[in-house]
Amino acid sequence: MNRLQELRKEAGLSQSGLAVESGISVRTIQDYEQGRVRLNGISIERALPLSRALGVSMEDLLEDGD
């Protein structure tokens, strides 16, 4: 399980719930969770809404380099 998936589950969100909360598509979230796109390479425009939706800092979101 990668960092995004771990934080999403801790927040009690489904992929679709995170998509609604962050404004990022389910497909993109799936790409991050399945490792097709690495989180440490995403833009601040993507990281910030994800971290806000999950209630964590961007550093916490990106900390393990996924």
In a domain, 64, yes or no: no
CATH of the domain at 18: 1.10.260.40
Report yes or no on 35 lying in a domain: yes
Residue 65 forms part of a structural domain: no
User: Residue 66: what pLDDT?
Assistant: 41
Is residue 37 included in any domain, yes or no? yes
Q: What integer pLDDT is reported at residue 40 of this predicted model? A: 86
pLDDT tens track for 2-56:
899 999 999 999 999 999 999 999 999 999 999 999 988 899 999 999 999 999 9
pLDDT at 63: 82
- As for how many domains the chain has, the answer is 1
Interaxial angle between packed helices 3-10 and 26-33, expressed in degrees from 0 to 180 and rounded to the nearest 10: 120
The boundaries of the domain holding residue 34 are 3-58
pTM of the model: 0.89
**Is 48 a member of any domain?**
yes
HEC string of 28-66 equals: HHHHHHCCCCCHHHCCHHHHHHHHHHHCCCHHHHHCCCC
Is the pLDDT score of 64 beyond 80?
no
